[in-house]
Amino acid sequence: MSEIPADLRYLPSHEWARKNLDGTVTVGITDHAQANLGDLVYVELPAVGEQLRARAECALVESVKAASDIFAPLSGAVVEVNEALEDQPELINSAPYADGWLFRVQPADLTELDDALDADGYAAEV
């Protein structure tokens, strides 16, 4: 069974979102997603300053098996990207909820996360 932290919100498309103390939201892909993709070899992240729309494509991850679009869990401006992934995309495989995060967003409307799944809801999906 995949790891599903209880403090995160999830999309059915396998992205997770963590509310940070500074008001930003960190986004990544789930343990389930990285396991199904296999060894990640490339990550294309949104640009800092880019405006994201909730549930719209915003990034891409590629593995030895497949490429997968990443969807924004909420609308807002990208304030930081995980630059370590440029040289080490495998961080997503080894630590999808820690060092393998993708980007941080300053949300336009934090209540958009209310529509995302909690851990139990996500576990029922996978």
pLDDT digit string, tens, across residues 43-93 = 999 999 999 999 999 999 999 989 999 999 999 999 999 999 999 999 999
Is residue 74 within 8 A of residue 109, CB to CB? The reply is yes
Residue 1 pLDDT greater than 70, yes or no: no
| C-alpha to C-alpha distance for 104 and 121, rounded to whole angstroms | 23
Residue 28 pLDDT greater than 70, yes or no: yes
Is residue 104 within 8 A of residue 26, CB to CB? The reply is yes
User: Of 1-5, 33-37, 48-52, 119-123, which range is least confident?
Assistant: 1-5
Task: Please report, for residues 6, 14, 44, the alpha-carbon distance to residue 2 in angstroms, rounded to integers and kept in the order given.
Answer: 12, 12, 24
Domain 9-125 has CATH 3.40.50.1970: no
Q: CA nearest 93: which of 45, 46, 33?
A: 33
> What is the pTM for the complete model shown?
0.96
Helices within 1-63 (DSSP H only): 31-37
Q: pLDDT band at residue 107, thresholds of 50, 70 and 90?
A: very high
C-alpha angle 67-72-77 in degrees, rounded to nearest 5: 125
Task: Please report the pLDDT score of residue 2 as a whole number.
Answer: 80
